[in-house]
Amino acid sequence: MVIRLKYPIYFTVLLFFSVACGDSNPVTSPQVPLVTETATISASGTQITIRGVIQTGSLSTFNTILNANSAVTTVVLENVPGTDDTQASFGIGRRIKAEGLRTHIPADGVVASGGTDIFVGGVVRTAGEGAYIGVHSWISDGTRGIDLPNSSLLHQPFITYYQEMGLPSDFYWFAVRSASPAIVHWMTDTEITQFNIIGTQAS
């Protein structure tokens, strides 16, 4: 049986907040509107730009555009607040890693949930001033990752993916326990450093 795991997308900006445990300065909501439209994917020169919510067809679109643009070295995630198909997000992230591409969030850009999953696919990951990186629990058919015991096999697809992306083994547990599906935890500078979110993928 194939289980399609989805991240919910909540677009009321007031819902997007986090109290940063262990950090002196909490990370507040992004000041830019979160895009609600289906993701658009375009190429220009050495960059592919993604903006919007990832859908099942986004993986095929990304692969087609990348195949047609051999000069691409960097995937720019302008405002990617989530996904309607986690497997599509994982597929894009895996293709990014396989091709040795960089990922970048521009100044005041936003990634969250499935957008963060794509971002961590970069072999080198960078972000401009004021960029936001968000995480939270997944939900699938009413089952919430935050509610499951660590022994549940439903965690494994995420654990496997993050391991493939070279992230510390405890990043998944941090992410899934950081917030319920209804809100997003915006990562602090300390957390971003702790989990090597910005920088070069661990080998």
**pLDDT tens for each residue of 66-116:** 999 999 999 999 999 999 999 999 999 999 999 999 999 999 899 999 999
Closest listed residue to residue 133, CA positions, set 109, 152, 111: 111
pTM of the model: 0.88
Q: What is the CATH number of the domain that holds 52?
A: 3.90.226.10
Instruction: Decide if 184 is inside a domain.
Output: yes
Instruction: Decide if 166 is inside a domain.
Output: yes
Instruction: Decide if 2 is inside a domain.
Output: no
Instruction: Decide if 142 is inside a domain.
Output: no
Rounded Cα distance, 7 and 83, in Å? 6
Instruction: Decide if 146 is inside a domain.
Output: no
Instruction: Decide if 25 is inside a domain.
Output: no
Which range marks the domain in which residue 38 is found? 13-19+30-136+156-196
Number of domains within the chain? 1
Instruction: Decide if 190 is inside a domain.
Output: yes
* Residue given tokens 């007031």 in the structure block: 14
Rounded Cα distance, 168 and 175, in Å? 12
pLDDT of 32 reads 76
Instruction: Decide if 3 is inside a domain.
Output: no
Which residues are CB-contacts of 55 (< 8 A; sequence separation ≥ 6)?
A: 38, 39, 83, 84, 85, 88
Percent of residues, the chain, with pLDDT higher than 90: 78
Does pLDDT of 16 surpass 80? Answer: no
The string of DSSP letters for the chain reads -----B------GGG-----TT-SS-----SSPPP-SBPEEEEETTEEEEESBB-TTHHHHHHHHHHT-TT--EEEEEEE--BS-HHHHHHHHHHHHHTT-EEEE-TT-EEETHHHHHHTT-SEEEE-TT-EEEE---EETTEEGGGS-TT-GGGHHHHHHHHHTT--TTHHHHHHHHS-TTS-EEPPHHHHHHTT-SEEPP-
